[in-house]
Structure 1
Amino acid sequence: MKFSHLTAAVAVALLTAMPASAETRVTYKSAKSTSSYYQMAVQIAEAMGKASDGEISVTIEESQGSVQNVMEVRARGGDYVFTTPPVLVKLAQGGKAMFEGKGDPAFDDIRALFPIPSLTMHFVMSEASGATTFDDLKGKTILLGKGSFGAREGEKYLGLFGVQDDVTIADVELSNAVPALKNGQIDGFVTAGSWPAPNVVEAAASTGVRVVSLSDAQIAETKRTKLVIPAGTYAGQDEDIVTTSLPVVAFTTTKMDDDTAYQLTKTYWEQKATMTASAKWWGGVDADLMANITGKIHPGALRYYEEAGFEITDDQK
């Protein structure tokens, strides 16, 4: 009986010491379910699960915005991955702007994993409008949308480039931009998202549009990152589009263990080609976007980047 009890005790101890499962569970908080960034999150989750033979399980959570994603760091654990522009992480760590009076030591523990497609500004004008520059927007009716980054940024640019008082802002939802353009209700619309942008693809194919380029001087005024959309991205687009972007990065915190961060980052880059085959917006992600990470990279992710030969700055280490 004593031997039997001893054997049972050893067995229990061994079972307790063994992991319940080799599966790594991650929660990925992205954006609203209707956005392209939510679709990206779904693609990342599928790619992670497939490439790891189910060892990495990613659960997608809908978000109301990047600020919320950052704020939730305070209450989340080591399985939390979220997307946000790096500038918001910097503001959170400094307790500035929308984070004023809401500072928390947890913000200092935020670390980058990998860049994802940037929020890219598109000033889309119908061919019938004849507009190819910001000065040409004078006298035109433009749809900005409401409450989004693109709407706020679009309004800012109209003011910066001196055409705000000469433009009529349409009271139409951005979701109706393409039909409104087709029926002549508007001359153009402003949208921000990954490129190729689905609504711009639709407008270019069905109506014919021109996406307005910015000069280097105008880009400098916006204080945003320059981005070039290659010629041929949209129907009828024979030249590169020079515009601005707001970088977006997938982050976690130092609570995540190094092996998980390493595996997530390695799998992301190795599956990017497969994801690009099903969604062209991944084609705009390459090693050059690493420069958009202005904060520190998670040690586990850093291990992958050093193995893969990525150029990493001292500030990112």
Structure 2
Amino acid sequence: MSAEKEISKTAEEYTIKFIPPQGGDVRTIRLPINLLKYGVVSLLAGALLFVGAFSYAVYSTFANRNGAAEIEDLRQVNSIQQEQLLQLAKKANSLQEEMNQLKKLEEDIRRLSGAQPLQENQQENASGEQGVDPATHNGQGGPISTPTVQNVSDTLAIVEQGLAVRRQSLTALKEELSQRQQALGIPAVSLPGGTTPAIWPARGVVSSPYGLRWNGSDFHPGIDIANDMGTPIIATADGVVRVAGWNDGGYGNMVDIDHGNGIMTRYGHAMQVAVTAGQYVHRGQVIAYMGSTGFSTGPHVHYEVRINGQAVNPAAYLH
């Protein structure tokens, strides 16, 4: 069916008439001018809103995709950096172990040749004349700490210092052997009291030195000295006991001694503590007994020297 439309306009409204082609009733629709204006404006506004919403949706989609891609890129970069740091830590740990092996080789050469023993050997390994077997006393422990750039740098600095010491020591050994001197023992020195750590905290063997260990996966902020359960642990300098008891951070039964001037020593994994917080102790005084409490694989003492809260290598304070 077809239809003819007749549209007439008045001053106030539009009239739309629908006339059937073969007669019949004529239908009329009257639309006020204002209504048509509002309709057109609403239609345009709706179209603009639709276009705006669509554009925002497209923009948000691309923005989210770009943001997710950037986050993923950052994660990959961080993962690569962590892997590189771990590899560097492993290499630093390997260098440290090789340095220890070189030191052990020098010790063997001195012993077999009758050369004078290293004084450094008595500072870093107390197993010789004390008769402690490293094979049976190998307890280790301490808090778990992921290696950082600073940790690796500290370890590399220790290796660098060790190289200088080895070079100087081997030069002295060469001169000594060339002169074929008789080996001289190093007498034990009774140290007076003082507020600077200067003696060993316990008799035993160093089962874990300061620095990176476990193939570079852990940084050890002190040294572990292993011996029998109940071996006395002594204060390495005069000071005031700040902590004496259980520690939840992996140290087990622990003693902290404040020696003043920013110097503090820590003794961990004790079987029993023999002092109390606030007590003043003297160098050589028994403060605890060796055990395997906290994060530990066997009886030993975890010994730290801290300067202004920062752990340093205790080897420089062992005599």
TM-score calculated relative to the size of structure 1: 0.22
Name which structure has the greater RCO, CA cutoff 8 Å, separation 6+: 1
TM-score calculated relative to the size of structure 2: 0.22
**Structure with greater strand share of residues:** 2
**Structure with greater helix share of residues:** 1
